[in-house]
A and B are shown apart, each in its own frame.
Chain A
Amino acid sequence: HTSLPLVINTWPFKNATAAAWRALQSGGSVLDAVEKGCGRCQIEQCDGSVGYGGSPDESGETTLDAMIMNGDTMEVGAVADLRRIKNAIGVARAVMEHTDHTLLVGESASVFAENMGFIAEDLTTNNSVNIFSQWLKGNCQPNYRKNVFPDPSKSCGPYKPSATLKQNMRAQHANTHSHD
């Protein structure tokens, strides 16, 4: 396994691997390769866990997290809970190249992105709306709430903290279809 260059990525996202490889072959940097590779998955919504229209939160909204790291300079750019901007990895690179920060989050990160020229658009799709409405119909199961009432294992919120804190076994929700 010593034959450079190398592109390796999680999950069988083949088109992302190819996009990164092509970026290297056409003279791009390794940063270009990572941006193109991850960016391909954002466009293709790889297995629903990357990009717009997937993994809606409790209010039905899709939010994006991304980071990019330069192994030569240890420069990093990252965004979290990014709203209304599809190209999260592109915004992460803009954080690295146009600020001295590392991580920008939430609504303000989206404002930064728009200032940097990224287009604001709705990240919901019929698919994410359908996932959300099915979840509401199923009494909001599964969810990530605990020690609140009403009983989160049986009903939707809004929730209030319960006076007693129980140390239950941690619910296991992440799986091959819902992960970071």
Chain B
Amino acid sequence: TIGMVALDQDGHLAAGTSTNGLTHKVPGRVGDSPIVGAGAYADSSAGGAAATGDGDLMMRFLPSYLAVELMRAGADPSAACKTAISRIKRHYSEFFGAIICANTTGHYGAACNKVPGFSQFHFMVWNSESDAPRLKSVDC
């Protein structure tokens, strides 16, 4: 699944996702990616976020919406991402998932839930500090 947030010079912000979902799913099953506030959320006055992972669980917590509302309340993007993950972890400690967050000034962060085989989450960033996309990682 890809989840993306884009922010331009003038502060316009958009977010989006695209996925083919979980392998061997029950036909008709839809994950969190197309659910507003779950797969992604964008508000140019607060920030944007996009989530990835076990959509059956993550959609129940609207992690992207939560992260944006936390940034609206002043949390930095990393903290907002961590809180959104911990909200899910409280109920499903072994869930597979990660989230990226960006606020209106171009600060960004990410967070993930540590489970066997997933202790680091990789994501891409491109801003005016570099002339190429940069691979970033965060320890879960």
Contacts and interface: CB of A to CB of B under 8 A. Distances in A.
B25 A71 contact: no
Contact of A50 (B19, B107, B125, B129): B19
Nearest to B44: A71
Contacts of A2: 105-107
Contact of A1 (B19, B30, B127): B127
Interface in A33-82: 33-35, 37-39, 41-42, 46, 48-52, 54-59, 61-72, 74, 76, 78-81
Given A8-B5, A49-B19, A67 B26 contact: no
Contacts of A39: 18
Given A3-B128, A4-B8, A30-B6, A12 B30 contact: no
Given A69-B41, A180-B55, A64 B9 contact: no
Interface in B66-105: 92, 94-98, 100, 102, 105
A167 interface: no
A18 B7 CA distance: 14
Contacts of A102: 36
A71 B5 CA distance: 10
B4 A144 contact: no
A20 interface: yes
B52 A180 contact: yes
5 contacts: A10-B2, A11-B124, A12-B135, A17-B125, A71-B44
A174 B106 CA distance: 30
A69 B124 contact: no
Nearest to A104: B34
